[in-house]
A and B are shown apart, each in its own frame.
Chain A
Amino acid sequence: MSLLHWAVLAPFLAALLVPFLYKLVRRIHTGWFVLFIPIILFTYFFTLIDTTRKGSTIIESVPWIPSLHINVSLYVDGLSLLFALLITGIGALVILYSIFYLSNKKESLHNFYVYLLLFMGAMLGVVLSDNLIVLYTFWELTSLSSFLLIGYWHHRERSRYGAQKSLLITVFGGLAMFGGFVLLSYIGSTFSIRELIMDSGQLFEHPLFIPTMLLILLGAFTKSAQFPFHIWLPDAMEAPTPVSAYLHSATMVKAGIYLVARLSPVFAFSGTWLWLVSLFGIITLLWGSFFAVKQTDLKGILAYSTISQLGLIMSLLGVGAAALHYEELDDNLYLAATVAAVFHLINHATFKGSLFMVAGIVDHETGTRDIRKLGGLMQVMPITFTVAVIGTFSMAGVPPFNGFLSKEMFLASMVHVLELDIVNFTTWGALFPVIAWIASVFTFIYSMIILFKTFTGSLQSEKLPKQPHEAPIGMLISPIILASLVIVFGLFPNLLSTSIIEPATAAIQPTLTNDLHVHIGFWHGFKPEFWMTVGIIVFGTMLFITLKRWWRIYSIVPEQISLNNLYDQSLNMIEVISLKLTKIFMTGYIRNYLIYIFIFFIAALLSTLFQKNAFTIDLDHVAPIGLYEVILAVIIASVSIVILFAKSRLTSIILLGAVGYTVSLFFVLFRAPDLALTQLIIETISVALFLLCFYRLPKLGNRKEERMAFRWNNALISIGVGITVTLIAISAFSSNKPFPPISSYYIENAYKEAGGKNIVNVILVDFRGLDTMFEITVLGIAALGIFGMIKLRTGRKSE
């Protein structure tokens, strides 16, 4: 166990302690104890920056299931370190925020912090794992802990709905991803991501390469809320705001981004990957930004904005994959896309985290998040307002904040798509900058909505559940820190470029970045992306001012054809259809189940018999048929037929006895005296028992005893069963027997070895005595069963 392993394990161990702390130290908010974990971890990961900056990596392995090559190998390079820092850094801020957000008295804090620590540990595991199976394990743990966190206020119906939805969708994707991982490890014959990256060239030619990629992307897209799997994210906003800030803006939703970035070296050379990642990313970007404008809930806007920003990062990763195809070029334009993706990832975590916290503060201090009720909070909450200004302007891509820089880099990369002349990008590639620009306009609009609808205008105190006032300082610390990071990264973008962005980019594009020097310029000159930004701001402002006039376009498409509705309907349909389906065949009548069993019996056996051409008739070995046998056969057959048509049950019982006695005559005829004896007595007893049952039947009243009703299907099925068994018996008799019967051994040795002359009895008690032992056990159980059944029944009656 290395220090790295302990770092991943630390949140889990701490989660074990949290309930004790909560119960024992009630005076102090549990969050203060929890706060140490991410701070310590952040410091630890911070010291590792030096290692990755030099281009070296750390790998530590602890065997888990060595026989299956599953080892907990943790791997630190630029990319995992970036994510680890995000997770622990934002984790610390979120916990600090939650200390003031969640009340010590009203909330079940032990649950909250256990879930949160579980999530933190799982997330660290995801980004640090090198082994695919271990990664998957942690991946599912993030789904599970996020499910618990979304459903934290489990008494609310909406929380449960959101939690279920997110679990269904992310686990669906997770399972697909698991399939992809299994295929990937099958193709590459290793579970280690590093080793897979090393021989990615060979993987490319494998026929299972595309299915593998699709399955893994399905996992990444569902987790990262890409179109059309984004629908769980807005509903996950029912979680407490710290959770939304942490999981649904900074960490968990980026697990999919991480996966795409991490496996880029494996898949990126494929054109399908390039297309899928960039296309889904850009569609998500547009879709999310378009629908964010429609939302009236602050967190709803932020959720859709998160979706769209994740789409942006995803599309950048997709376009960044094009860099591999232009290795020769000195100035690799597409490498810049990857750099932009990494940079925007950091920026998004900062501004979105702060905005969620702002939304939480507004909710906490006014009692509502509905922007139709909010307004004029600027004077009441000046600090919150300042943070919101920084966050929203950064999100909208306005200078001098960091969002501006990454948005510029994004637009530049999208413009470069026009020059992409591989994998058919020349035809539809032109759409990319257009969509990117439109989506950015919408991004600008919803950013402005968040800011101005909440903080400007007139204060509608009468509509608010609480009298608004500035939040306590403790709640403001975290958003202030994040907002200042937004400004710092905006003003000094190169603060991160060598320490974080370069190693991360190198991890995503390991083959290309030998002499990578990231320099994020503040000023590009009058390039297309500059004019695009100007256009975004101008058009965005115009559209924002005229929002009321064109807002109606959202009601053009009715609510019924939304993706959410599709999800609800299909979930509903699945339930309804499966219920109907079960109702069709699970009738509750034993006669129906018998029909299924017999039909299956006939179909399976007959088809096998004829498919294998196993049916043979060979009459050579048939013994001569005697007169007595014919007579007995005629008797038994006619009696059996009469049973079918018997009117009274008494007749049936007596005829059944006749069958039994005839069988015992057959035993006599075929020289089986022991069987004949036993059969006689047993038949007598069972007929007596039948009569007993008959005697106890309920009185029929006016109804007379009726002949069994005739049903065609029953007749056909029973004839079919009879024919099947007969055919198999004939075929088994006629076919060549591969082995001689064992009976000669018994005949020879019954007296010599076992000292008995009655071979049947010798077999029963000596050669195969064990069978007899268990048969008498069966008898004993039957007797006790009857005893118990009857005695218990009378006992119940007496009560």
Chain B
Amino acid sequence: MKTNDLILQTVTKVAAFVIILFSLSIFLGGHYSPGGGFVGGLMTSSAIILLLLAYDLKTVAGILPVDYKLFIASGLLLSVLTASGSLLFGVPLMTHAFTYVDLPLLGHISLHTAVLFDLGVYLVVVGVTMTIIQTIGESE
């Protein structure tokens, strides 16, 4: 029995992007305000879950044709590489570097290798959440 959930689907179309933007915002602002890769990742996956609820697994797989397990792998790879990248510069493992630059449009901001590490966390969290939800959802 398929009910007409037009309202839900329409709202989702708007809300999902708002949620994703919000998640990106708390992910990127993690170093200065509450948030970070973990919560950001969870929030992004909740946007995708909203899509899953409004549509169905197949449609969402059509919209986002990705294997979330690759997210986990690439996220782990990114964080490990960031952590071990410091070894190339002769400093201990996991040493981050940052610098402040003035970029046009964005102004005075910092560029920080910790963001790369956090991006790894973000990817892993998205991958993990989506893998779990998808696997359970697909199983009978």
Residue of B38, B46, B129, B136 most packed against chain A (CB within 10 A): B38
Over the window 682-694 of chain A, the binary record of Cβ atoms lying under 8 Å from chain B Cβ atoms (1 yes, 0 no) is: 1001000100100
Contact B120 A776 (CB under 8 A): yes
Contact A786 B83 (CB under 8 A): no
Answer yes or no: B85 CB below 8 A from chain A CBs.
Answer: no
8 Å CB contact of B72 from A681, A769, A770, A783: A783
Answer yes or no: A586 CB below 8 A from chain B CBs.
Answer: no
Chain A residues within 8 Å of B42, by CB: 678, 681-682, 685
Chain A residues within 8 Å of B30, by CB: 758, 761, 765
Chain A residues within 8 Å of B110, by CB: 755
Answer yes or no: B39 CB below 8 A from chain A CBs.
Answer: yes
Contact B136 A790 (CB under 8 A): yes
8 Å CB contact of A776 from B33, B39, B79: B79
Chain B residues within 8 Å of A777, by CB: 76
Chain A residues within 8 Å of B38, by CB: 678, 764
Q: What is the bound-complex CA distance between A779 and B69, given in angstroms?
A: 12
Answer yes or no: A642 CB below 8 A from chain B CBs.
Answer: no
Q: Count of B residues near A, CB < 8 Å?
A: 46
Answer yes or no: A363 CB below 8 A from chain B CBs.
Answer: no
Q: How far is the CB of A774 from chain B (nearest CB, A)?
A: 10
Contact A765 B135 (CB under 8 A): no
8 Å CB contact of A786 from B26, B32, B136: B136
Answer yes or no: B140 CB below 8 A from chain A CBs.
Answer: yes
Answer yes or no: B13 CB below 8 A from chain A CBs.
Answer: no
Chain A residue with the shortest CB-CB distance to B32: A757
Q: Count of A residues near B, CB < 8 Å?
A: 37
Q: How far is the CB of B40 from chain A (nearest CB, A)?
A: 10
Over the window 745-787 of chain A, the binary record of Cβ atoms lying under 8 Å from chain B Cβ atoms (1 yes, 0 no) is: 0000000001111101110111001101100110110111011
Q: With A776-B125, A783-B72 as given contacts, are A758 and B34 in contact (CB-CB < 8 Å)?
A: yes
Chain B residue with the shortest CB-CB distance to A673: B34
Answer yes or no: A674 CB below 8 A from chain B CBs.
Answer: yes
Answer yes or no: B43 CB below 8 A from chain A CBs.
Answer: yes
Contact B118 A765 (CB under 8 A): yes
Chain B residues within 8 Å of A764, by CB: 36, 38
Chain A residue with the shortest CB-CB distance to B97: A755
Over the window 97-124 of chain B, the binary record of Cβ atoms lying under 8 Å from chain A Cβ atoms (1 yes, 0 no) is: 0101000000000101010011011001
Contact B31 A681 (CB under 8 A): no
Q: What is the bound-complex CA distance between A571 and B36, given in angstroms?
A: 65
Chain B residues within 8 Å of A790, by CB: 135-136, 138-139
Contact A776 B124 (CB under 8 A): yes
Answer yes or no: A677 CB below 8 A from chain B CBs.
Answer: yes
Chain B residues within 8 Å of A760, by CB: 34, 36
Chain B residues within 8 Å of A761, by CB: 30-31, 35-36, 118
A-B contacts, CB under 8 A, total: 129
Contact A677 B35 (CB under 8 A): yes
Chain A residue with the shortest CB-CB distance to B98: A755
Chain A residues within 8 Å of B124, by CB: 776, 779-780
Chain A residue with the shortest CB-CB distance to B112: A755
Chain A residues within 8 Å of B127, by CB: 780, 783
Q: How far is the CB of B78 from chain A (nearest CB, A)?
A: 10
Q: What is the bound-complex CA distance between A259 and B102, given in angstroms?
A: 89
8 Å CB contact of B136 from A674, A692, A757, A776: A692
Contact B69 A784 (CB under 8 A): yes
Contact A754 B96 (CB under 8 A): yes
**A-contacting residues, B62-109, CB 8 Å:** 69, 72-73, 75-76, 79-80, 83, 93-94, 96, 98, 100
Answer yes or no: B9 CB below 8 A from chain A CBs.
Answer: no
Contact A685 B72 (CB under 8 A): no
Q: What is the bound-complex CA distance between A658 and B7, given in angstroms?
A: 29
Chain A residues within 8 Å of B94, by CB: 766, 769-770, 773
Chain A residue with the shortest CB-CB distance to B94: A769
Chain B residues within 8 Å of A466, by CB: none
Q: How far is the CB of B67 from chain A (nearest CB, A)?
A: 11
Q: What is the bound-complex CA distance between A678 and B121, given in angstroms?
A: 14
Answer yes or no: A791 CB below 8 A from chain B CBs.
Answer: yes
Contact A765 B80 (CB under 8 A): no
Contact A754 B114 (CB under 8 A): yes
Contact B72 A784 (CB under 8 A): yes
Q: With A755-B110, A756-B114 as given contacts, are A674 and B36 in contact (CB-CB < 8 Å)?
A: yes
Contact B39 A681 (CB under 8 A): yes
Answer yes or no: B8 CB below 8 A from chain A CBs.
Answer: no
Q: What is the bound-complex CA distance between A779 and B128, given in angstroms?
A: 7
8 Å CB contact of B69 from A681, A755, A757, A787: A787
Answer yes or no: B132 CB below 8 A from chain A CBs.
Answer: yes
Contact A765 B34 (CB under 8 A): no
Chain A residues within 8 Å of B140, by CB: 794
Contact B33 A786 (CB under 8 A): no
Over the window 663-700 of chain A, the binary record of Cβ atoms lying under 8 Å from chain B Cβ atoms (1 yes, 0 no) is: 00000000001100110011001000100100000000
8 Å CB contact of B117 from A755, A769, A793: A769
Q: What is the bound-complex CA distance between A784 and B43, given in angstroms?
A: 21
Q: With A754-B114, A756-B32, A770-B83 as given contacts, are A786 and B132 in contact (CB-CB < 8 Å)?
A: yes
Q: How far is the CB of A348 from chain B (nearest CB, A)?
A: 73
Chain A residues within 8 Å of B132, by CB: 782-783, 786-787
Chain B residues within 8 Å of A762, by CB: 31, 114
Chain A residues within 8 Å of B136, by CB: 689, 692, 786, 790
Chain B residue with the shortest CB-CB distance to A777: B76
Q: What is the bound-complex CA distance between A793 and B139, given in angstroms?
A: 9
Chain A residues within 8 Å of B83, by CB: 769-770, 773
Q: How far is the CB of B22 from chain A (nearest CB, A)?
A: 11
Chain A residues within 8 Å of B26, by CB: 677
Q: What is the bound-complex CA distance between A244 and B72, given in angstroms?
A: 69
Contact B34 A782 (CB under 8 A): no
Contact B129 A685 (CB under 8 A): yes
Q: What is the bound-complex CA distance between A685 and B49, given in angstroms?
A: 11
Over the window 9-48 of chain B, the binary record of Cβ atoms lying under 8 Å from chain A Cβ atoms (1 yes, 0 no) is: 0000000000000000010001111111111001100100
Chain B residues within 8 Å of A681, by CB: 39, 42-43, 46
Chain A residue with the shortest CB-CB distance to B95: A766
Q: How far is the CB of A467 from chain B (nearest CB, A)?
A: 78
Q: How far is the CB of A63 from chain B (nearest CB, A)?
A: 43
**A-contacting residues, B44-59, CB 8 Å:** 46
Over the window 107-121 of chain A, the binary record of Cβ atoms lying under 8 Å from chain B Cβ atoms (1 yes, 0 no) is: 000000000000000
Q: What is the bound-complex CA distance between A153 and B8, given in angstroms?
A: 82
Q: What is the bound-complex CA distance between A681 and B26, given in angstroms?
A: 14
Residue of B30, B69, B93, B120 most packed against chain A (CB within 10 A): B30
Q: What residues of chain B have their CB less than 8 Å away from a CB belonging to chain A?
A: 26, 30-39, 42-43, 46, 69, 72-73, 75-76, 79-80, 83, 93-94, 96, 98, 100, 110, 112, 114, 117-118, 120-121, 124-125, 127-129, 131-132, 135-136, 138-140
Closest 7 A/B residue pairs (Cβ): A673-B34, A756-B31, A783-B128, A755-B98, A776-B124, A783-B131, A780-B72
Of the A-B pairs whose beta carbons lie under 8 Å apart in the complex, a sample of 29, sorted by A's number, is A674-B36, A677-B26, A685-B129, A754-B98, A755-B31, A755-B98, A756-B112, A756-B114, A758-B36, A760-B36, A761-B30, A761-B36, A762-B31, A765-B96, A766-B94, A769-B83, A769-B96, A773-B117, A776-B75, A780-B72, A780-B75, A780-B76, A780-B128, A783-B69, A783-B129, A784-B69, A787-B132, A790-B139, A791-B135
Q: What residues of chain A have their CB less than 8 Å away from a CB belonging to chain B?
A: 673-674, 677-678, 681-682, 685, 689, 692, 754-758, 760-762, 764-766, 769-770, 772-773, 776-777, 779-780, 782-784, 786-787, 790-791, 793-794
Task: Given A762-B31, A772-B117, output 12 extra A-B contacts at Cβ < 8 Å.
Answer: A681-B43, A689-B136, A756-B32, A757-B31, A757-B32, A765-B117, A770-B83, A772-B121, A773-B94, A776-B75, A786-B136, A790-B135
